[in-house]
A and B are shown apart, each in its own frame.
Chain A
């Protein structure tokens, strides 16, 4: 199994009151390392659920999910937490930054839980922020940053952990075109230069041209799977 992420006949349904909705239907896919894979589709198509299952945030009803060769269903909750701590990064639609912390501290925070000492965490955090173009804004708090800058801090927070898996859920939907462009380029570059597996979920059509591979989803199934040959971002 060479793929970093494998979905094997995944199914998942949610029940709201008396209504049962099948969100994923017997979905299988393999996602390779070192590229940016975009899952696109209308809202409610199950793309976020797919991301949640492949990242170990959610357990499927049926089928199996493998991440880095690890069958996620076999991990106990504490092991799953440890797996996420060491191997995964997340970027969400809302930036979810602590209002009290500077950009540098936001990025250092998870590193502390990884057991890194302060000096190393500080250097790694500063490097990650420099990589997303915020090297000069280390001391600013979220209130002093623009939306695009906040999302780049969130990316740096995920990146500083040096994860093999990076999950992004609608990372650009709260941003304008220019900032959205910067964010997707950054994610793309992380995939290429760090060799990370970047799985991005979005219904934003502007992103399609920037991904290495686009999976089109609808009604819990993958309808199309194509490679775009996107150029390496500048």
Chain B
């Protein structure tokens, strides 16, 4: 069988290029948007995912980590009494007002007070033992290197949080989150910065269970019952999901993403179908001749759909490569981006959908492939 669809594509590539680029661009937009959205929204869970431990104890109903409120110390005691619990580590979370160099004004910051021991749970995957040790210096803080410019300081620089002087003793990466600059410090320093407002209470306790313990069962045991709950218990994954869901849906951003994806899909399909229709119209006399020779419409449709599929595949590859470059660039610039296989598969399906839907629209142009037109 003569590969008419492919040969025509190669020979008249200029004609098909706009549709392939439209598909590629749609793919790029869909993928980059997804990468950014998942990157940004997952950064709301980054503190949870980059830490050890299986259970989190926090203020009842807390929807995302930055919304934490102090909880009573009895939560820690309750946890320690459970046979499955190996360790309980306090994690303090307070809001702060950062005053650095005069030209940067005030910056809202979140202060994380963590255990500085080498084997501590908080930020187990984000900070090295050496970085933790730096926080043992009183009033020492670590910031994400991407936030240095915003704060107008470098390592060794001094600033004031909530009226207390602090010094940047180091930088980390992957510490950025939504809503403000994150400052990591020791538990002791964070208590000083809190001005005693919390009465020594912390916002979270992170629980490490004994090896092999059932996290779900332990959560159930620890979860206080009744109306007057003073804290709530989540598994690590559940708490991370809660944070992502909060940002994705409660803020309306998720809906925005879906709407934008629809717009990209429709615009991509419109441009692609118009170009494919033009390509069909350009060969209409040849198609009509084939039809006169007895080649059915179904088979002609097949040729057009094949072309659409090739255009889609080409667009997918170009869009994929472009996305990879953008993601690489974003990583270098510490812009939070994240793509998983499911997202890529969904975007790829959408992109092929754009191409094939456009092909179906272009097939309609074949109606004009009436051999009688060749006889006039």
- Could you tell me which A residues sit within 8 Å of B by CB distance? 48-49, 51-52, 55, 57-58, 78, 81-86, 88-90, 92-94, 96-101, 105, 108-110, 112-113, 118, 141, 157-158, 161, 169
Residues from chain B with Cβ under 8 Å of A93 in the complex: 374
Distance of B346 from chain A, by nearest CB (Å): 34
CB pair A113–B294 under 8 Å, yes or no, is: yes
Q: In the bound complex, what is the Cα–Cα distance between A157 and B4 (angstroms)?
A: 15
Number of A-B contacts (CB under 8 A): 91
Binary CB contact string for chain B from 1 to 34 against chain A (1 if under 8 A, 0 otherwise): 1101001101110000000000000000000000
Residues from chain B with Cβ under 8 Å of A51 in the complex: 375
Could you show 11 A-B contacts with beta carbons less than 8 Å apart? A57-B371, A78-B296, A90-B289, A92-B375, A94-B285, A96-B374, A99-B11, A100-B7, A100-B11, A109-B4, A157-B293
Q: Could you say which of B4, B289, B376 has the most chain A C-beta atoms within 10 Å of its C-beta?
A: B289
Among all A-B residue pairs, the 7 with the closest Cβ atoms: A85-B294, A100-B11, A84-B294, A112-B1, A96-B289, A100-B7, A48-B375
CB pair B293–A110 under 8 Å, yes or no, is: yes
Distance of A52 from chain B, by nearest CB (Å): 5
Nearest A residue to B376, CB-CB: A48
Residues from chain A with Cβ under 8 Å of B293 in the complex: 84-85, 88-90, 110, 113, 157-158, 161
Nearest A residue to B288, CB-CB: A96
| Contact among B288, B294, B372 with A110 in the assembled complex (CB-CB below 8 Å) | B294
Q: Could you say which of B12, B290, B291, B375 has the most chain A C-beta atoms within 10 Å of its C-beta?
A: B375
Given contacts A96-B289, A105-B7, A110-B294, 15 further A-B contacts (CB under 8 A): A85-B293, A90-B371, A96-B286, A97-B286, A98-B4, A98-B286, A99-B8, A110-B295, A112-B2, A113-B293, A113-B294, A141-B11, A158-B293, A161-B293, A169-B374
The count of residues in chain B whose C-beta lies closer than 8 Å to any C-beta of chain A is 26
| Contact among B2, B290, B295, B375 with A105 in the assembled complex (CB-CB below 8 Å) | B2
Residues from chain B with Cβ under 8 Å of A48 in the complex: 375-376
Nearest A residue to B6, CB-CB: A100
Distance of B124 from chain A, by nearest CB (Å): 60
CB pair B372–A52 under 8 Å, yes or no, is: yes
Decide yes or no: A99 and B12 within 8 Å by CB, A90-B371, A109-B4 being known contacts.
yes
Distance of B30 from chain A, by nearest CB (Å): 31
CB pair A52–B4 under 8 Å, yes or no, is: no
Q: In the bound complex, what is the Cα–Cα distance between A78 and B291 (angstroms)?
A: 11
- Could you tell me which B residues sit within 8 Å of A by CB distance? 1-2, 4, 7-8, 10-12, 283, 285-286, 288-296, 299, 371-372, 374-376
Q: In the bound complex, what is the Cα–Cα distance between A55 and B294 (angstroms)?
A: 11
Distance of B15 from chain A, by nearest CB (Å): 10
CB pair A94–B374 under 8 Å, yes or no, is: yes
Q: Could you say which of A78, A81, A97 has the most chain B C-beta atoms within 10 Å of its C-beta?
A: A81
CB pair B295–A113 under 8 Å, yes or no, is: yes
Q: In the bound complex, what is the Cα–Cα distance between A78 and B11 (angstroms)?
A: 31
Distance of A20 from chain B, by nearest CB (Å): 18
Q: In the bound complex, what is the Cα–Cα distance between A85 and B290 (angstroms)?
A: 9
| Contact among A86, A92, A141 with B294 in the assembled complex (CB-CB below 8 Å) | A86
Q: In the bound complex, what is the Cα–Cα distance between A94 and B287 (angstroms)?
A: 13
Nearest B residue to A106, CB-CB: B2
Distance of A3 from chain B, by nearest CB (Å): 22
Residues from chain A with Cβ under 8 Å of B291 in the complex: 81
Q: In the bound complex, what is the Cα–Cα distance between A57 and B293 (angstroms)?
A: 10
Distance of B11 from chain A, by nearest CB (Å): 3
Q: In the bound complex, what is the Cα–Cα distance between A85 and B312 (angstroms)?
A: 32
Q: In the bound complex, what is the Cα–Cα distance between A158 and B292 (angstroms)?
A: 10
Residues from chain B with Cβ under 8 Å of A118 in the complex: 1
Residues from chain A with Cβ under 8 Å of B289 in the complex: 90, 92, 96
Residues from chain A with Cβ under 8 Å of B371 in the complex: 52, 57, 90
Decide yes or no: A100 and B8 within 8 Å by CB, A83-B294, A169-B375 being known contacts.
yes
Decide yes or no: A108 and B2 within 8 Å by CB, A57-B372, A90-B371, A98-B283 being known contacts.
yes
Residues from chain A with Cβ under 8 Å of B12 in the complex: 99-100
Residues from chain B with Cβ under 8 Å of A82 in the complex: 294
Residues from chain A with Cβ under 8 Å of B8 in the complex: 98-100
CB pair B290–A110 under 8 Å, yes or no, is: yes
Residues from chain B with Cβ under 8 Å of A161 in the complex: 293
Q: In the bound complex, what is the Cα–Cα distance between A15 and B190 (angstroms)?
A: 90
Q: In the bound complex, what is the Cα–Cα distance between A92 and B292 (angstroms)?
A: 10
Distance of B87 from chain A, by nearest CB (Å): 70
CB pair A81–B375 under 8 Å, yes or no, is: no
